[in-house]
Structure 1
């Protein structure tokens, strides 16, 4: 519940402190007196939109402080946000506004927009002028229906809606996976064809040895010069091992070896030289045998040379397309792996189609259950709303929650339409198309009454999504716009009944509504030191009579006596004596105000 509101340098307000009470609190005053500024300040304290234009002229800083009583839910929220409680009973929301910035605080701790919005939903619901537009919005109608239905279904509706949201996400993933597979299938097949062609070409080349090209080029060079190599081989053989004139290296070393052998018999010092010559002779003889074998193996083979030339050309062609030979071999392995992955696609399109269909059917089944819960909620809401509207002097009203099938979404497969007929014999039509402004106001008040009554029947908290059904303070800014007479009285009665379950703060121009208030505040403007200031005061009984008389008659009556009334009327007539009719009118206005208060007291006693 809102306990107090302190405002400093906000719009036309210099300094103002308003203490509020449980029950029905009414604000009245002339049009433009500043009633809505007070509500704007409360909205600002709870994170509402502000700008530097809201600063009082000449001021650098505005401060607003709203103090609320707390409950267990608020205490748990503070603990979750790691905000210390000031005490066990109160909570302070404040807003500091400057030309460059503004800060919102809870118990002195700066909070962000999301935090203050969460707290606001737990504290206050502000119904401002023009908010009846919400009644025509299908999304808001669905939220109201689901909020009401969640309570009567023991919170099963909200749980089912969460299930629908999860299944919708699953369905969307499987649908997108299928669509992506279908869209990419043509590209996949084209890519597959290209990979298969490249791999076929590479595998046909039978690449394996990164040094094969170098070896082939060596073989080609050897075969191309085989005759020349044989000629040189024979020459080397003759030089080192054997020739016709006997001066081969092996012959000469043999002779040297024989001589050294004889020398060693005479002098052992020559043994080392003999060993070296013997070793050299062995190596020359081995070289001779190897060069002889090499020369005999050399053949001029044009066919083999052609084969090698073709292989070299094939490898070079591959290298021109795929890089060096080692790179071409590595690319072949990569192609084999990629082709295996493309060929082995895991889940087939058919499997994806079956999964997408199964996920869709699971979603539709959950949506059907959600629709059933909404139908149950619709019946209960229709009954409660019609009863509430009848109390607002709409005895012939018809109301129906239309639930029509639509494409499934995360919120179900229902299109919700509030259908309304205020007059007997007229067909049901969408609320926005048939209700007048006054009927819209009464419909919104009746709807809020249904929620509060539902709350009083069940003390459990709703999920945060539906927080508007369990706030402690409800604010109405001219909810009675466009109505008068018997309808105004019905609204007054409904507001008073509503205030038995929640604190109500209401701005009104209706004397019938003002009369039934538990507390009546008057808002006016005054000129102080050549500056306009908004002031508010709580009216005592006599002051209430005067204010009600003024609202009802339009006359400014500051005292209840007929003499003072005549003085006021005389002022209005530029000093001329007022006629008896004017004097009687003033007296009648006071009498009417008294009758309103008596009538209000009677209504309260009956309830």
Structure 2
């Protein structure tokens, strides 16, 4: 239930606070007085469109705020967004400002910033707006489907959600399969390329990343084998076999020192160094002889090394800067090739999944169709029972379900068929219903829908336009009945409807003499003021006859109207 509405610098409202009550609340006033501004403010507050044109002239910023009673579904919704619930109330606000040509707005729920989509979700739990000019909605197949589904209750809405989930799952796999088919040519081309590359890489038997470096060293050695043999043999000869040899000279030097070492002990360490040098020179000579004997000047070995080096260098130029990179690339494309070969199997799995998900979707849609058929039969009877007292006893109504391409909403195309007069065939509602008939249809439909939902605030904006006094009385009775289980806000020009209200608000547009600007004022009416307002609605004057008629209307309703003037405050 909407408890309090506060408006600042919105349209013609400078500052206004209105407290609404349970039951049927009506707003009356002259045409253009600004009654619908209050409803526009509620719409903007809960995710409706808001533009710079709705900012009060001369103001730079404004705000709309409302306090609602906190129903259980809203408490659960707040919990999902981790927004704290403040007692038994939920506070919604929307601030807006204009700086230069930039218009901005931001919304909060219990002080927490929320986006427009979240506001629209919250709106479903709090209010529903019905206007006489909803001809476009009446002609909309999607709107008619939504009405039928809401009437079908929780079971139908749950099944519709299952269909939506099944449709999303099927669509996702379908897109994956289509993408796979689109990429099949690229996959085959890639397979050929990798297969060709591996035919070149695998026979090379690459294992050691240092192989090329080692081979280059071996090739360098073998390509100079004659010079290596010659020089190593010469070094051996100088060290061991020359006349005199290096070893002999070292031995002679060591002998000379040894002969005089007894005269000066300082020569002993030098003699020992020479002794070590003799041993090292003899070992070097031995290794040189062995090295020269091992050298192999076989041209075939040298040629084989050269070919292997060329092979590895060619692979490095094509697949990597070094042999380690080539080996890593080979391993990577081997894994990719295996994955691409498995892709054919993946496609078969995808095709099977798509078929299975399609079957699940069709089964869910068929169940949804059956639930809609049963709901349509109930709605046809229920709606006609509410239309009869609204002055349409001969009206006929049917819900037509035609098969259509499956979507997230199922496989039904839903059309409301209507005939207000005997002998006239059923035709689509949005094409033939008059304004007055639409008003009554919307009210009857809203009455049917309220039985399928938790109480909320129902807003009716001039749905009584174009109806006679007798029909207005029937509308008043229907609104009064709705007010027993829901809070109802209704903008009306009909005295019969205003008289049926539990609470009556008069909206007036005045000129503030201090600022010479137009302002909107709201007055809560009781007693004599209410009689006068009803007389204005009924006859446009306050003659004794009009006042008597208005008093009679109120007496027929026999409703108490407690004073509530303190519930409204205004600043201009």
| TM-score of the two chains, using structure 1 as the length reference | 0.75
Indicate which of 441, 457, 471 corresponds to 1:473.
Answer: 457
Q: Residue 320 of structure 1 aligns with which residue? A: 317
Bigger drift between 590-599 and 232-241 goes to: 590-599
Q: How far is the alpha carbon of 1:385 from its aligned partner?
A: 1.1
Structure 1 residues 379, 286: closer, same or farther in 2, change over 3 A?
same
Q: Equivalent residue for 1:396?
A: 394
Query: For residue 562 of structure 2, what is the aligned residue in structure 1?
Result: none
- Give the CA deviation at 1:515: 4.1
Question: Which residue is 1:411 aligned to?
Answer: 409
Residue 275 of structure 1 deviates from its aligned partner by 7.9
Which SS does the other structure have where 1:25 is aligned?
strand
Deviation at 1:204, TM superposition (A): 2.5
Question: Would the aligned equivalents of 1:3 and 1:21 in 2 still touch at CA under 8 Å?
Answer: yes
**Residue aligning to 2:423:** 425
Given candidates 133, 137, 142, the residue that maps to 1:139 is: 142
> Is the Cα–Cα contact under 8 Å of residues 521 and 539 in structure 1 kept in the other structure?
yes
Is the CA contact (8 Å cut-off) linking 1:63 and 1:94 kept in structure 2? yes
Q: Which residue of 2 aligns with 1:82?
A: 84
TM-superposed CA distance for 1:438, in Å, is: 1.9
Tell me which residue corresponds to 1:24. 24
Aligned-partner SS, 2:33: coil
C-alpha displacement at 1:330, in angstroms? 3.3
How far residue 525 of structure 1 moved from its aligned partner, in angstroms, is 3.8
Contact 2:498–2:534 at 8 Å: present in 1 too?
yes
User: Equivalent residue for 1:200?
Assistant: 199
Deviations 1:188-208 (A, max 9, x none): 232222222222222333333
**Which residue does 1:581 correspond to in 2?**
none
Matched with 2:301 is 304
Q: Residues 222 and 158 (structure 1 numbering): CA distance in 2 closer, same or farther, change over 3 Å? A: same
- Summarize the Cα distance change of 1:311–1:437 in structure 2 as closer, same or farther, 3 Å threshold: same
- When structure 1 is superposed on structure 2, of 349-358 and 324-333 the one drifting more is 324-333
1:134-181 CA-partner distances (Å, limit 9, x unpaired): 22223322222222112xxxx322332332233233323332333333
* Whole-Å separation in 1 of the counterparts to 2:216 and 2:97: 86
Instruction: Decide whether the 8 Å contact of 1:29 with 1:523 is kept in 2.
Output: yes
The 5 A counterparts of 1:135-174 are 135-150=138-153, 155-174=154-173
Q: Contact conserved, 1:543 with 1:558, CA < 8 A, in 2? A: no
Residue 479 of structure 1 and its aligned partner are, at CA, apart by 0.3
Q: Distance in 1 between matches of 2:538 and 2:201?
A: 100
Q: Cα offset for 1:384? A: 0.8
Aligned to 1:187: 186
Normalising by the residue count of structure 2, what TM-score does the alignment of the two structures yield?
0.79
Listed one character per residue, the Cα deviations across residues 420-458 of structure 1 (whole Å, up to 9, x for unaligned) are 222333333322222222222111111111122x15xxx
Per the alignment, residue 575 of structure 1 pairs with none
Please name the residue that 1:451 is paired with.
449
- Paired with 2:43 and 2:190, the residues of 1 have a C-alpha distance of 61
Q: RMSD over aligned Cα, in angstroms?
A: 4.3
Tell me what 2:351 maps to.
353
Aligned to 2:37: 37
Shift in alpha-carbon separation, 1:545–1:206, aligned structure 2, 3 A: closer
1:506–1:216 Cα change, 3 Å? closer
Hey, what's the Cα distance between the residues in 1 that align with 2:374 and 2:150? Answer: 13
Larger relative contact order (CA 8 Å, sep ≥ 6): 2
Classify the secondary structure of the residue corresponding to 1:317. helix
Counterpart of 1:348 in 2: which secondary structure? helix
**Distance in 2 separating the partners of 1:75 and 1:292:** 97
| Number of residue equivalences | 547
Q: CA deviation at 1:523?
A: 3.6
Residues 204-243 of structure 1 correspond to what in structure 2 (within 5 A)?
204-242=203-241
Report the more deviating stretch, 324-333 or 275-284.
275-284
Alignment deviations for residues 474-509 of structure 1 (CA, whole Å, 9 cap, x no partner): 221210122224433332332233223323332222
Aligned to 2:542: 558
Deviation at 1:595, TM superposition (A): 6.7
Structure 2, unmatched stretches of 5+, are 560-572
Higher alpha-carbon deviation: 173-182 or 387-396 = 173-182
* Greater mean deviation of Cα atoms: 183-192 or 360-369: 183-192
- Specify whether residues 276 and 355 from structure 1 end up closer, same or farther in structure 2 by C-alpha distance, changes over 3 A only: same
Bigger radius of gyration, 1 or 2?
A: 1
Distance 1:441 1:314, change over 3 A: same
Query: Of residues 487, 501, 509 in structure 1, which corresponds to 2:493?
Result: 509
Cα distance in structure 1, aligned partners of 2:418 and 2:77? 39
1:15 Cα offset (Å): 6.4
45-54 or 487-496, which moves further after superposition? 45-54
- Equivalent position of 2:366 in the other structure: 368
1:497 maps to: 481
Q: Distance in 1 between matches of 2:120 and 2:166?
A: 29
Q: What CA distance in whole angstroms lies between the structure 2 residues aligned with 1:372 and 1:81?
A: 38
Q: Secondary structure at the match of 2:183?
A: helix
Distance 1:421 1:215, change over 3 A: same
SS at match of 2:406: strand
Equivalent-residue separation in structure 2 for 1:16 and 1:219 (angstroms): 97
| Contact 2:6 2:66 (C-alpha < 8 Å) held by counterparts | yes
CA distance in 1: counterparts of 2:170 and 2:380, whole angstroms: 33
CA spacing shift, 1:291–1:377, aligned 2, 3 Å: same
In 1, Cα distance between the equivalents of 2:407 and 2:397?
Answer: 26
Taking the aligned partners of 1:273 and 1:99, their CA distance within structure 2 comes to 101
* Residues 485 and 253 (structure 1), Cα distance of their counterparts in 2 relative to 1, 3 Å cut: closer
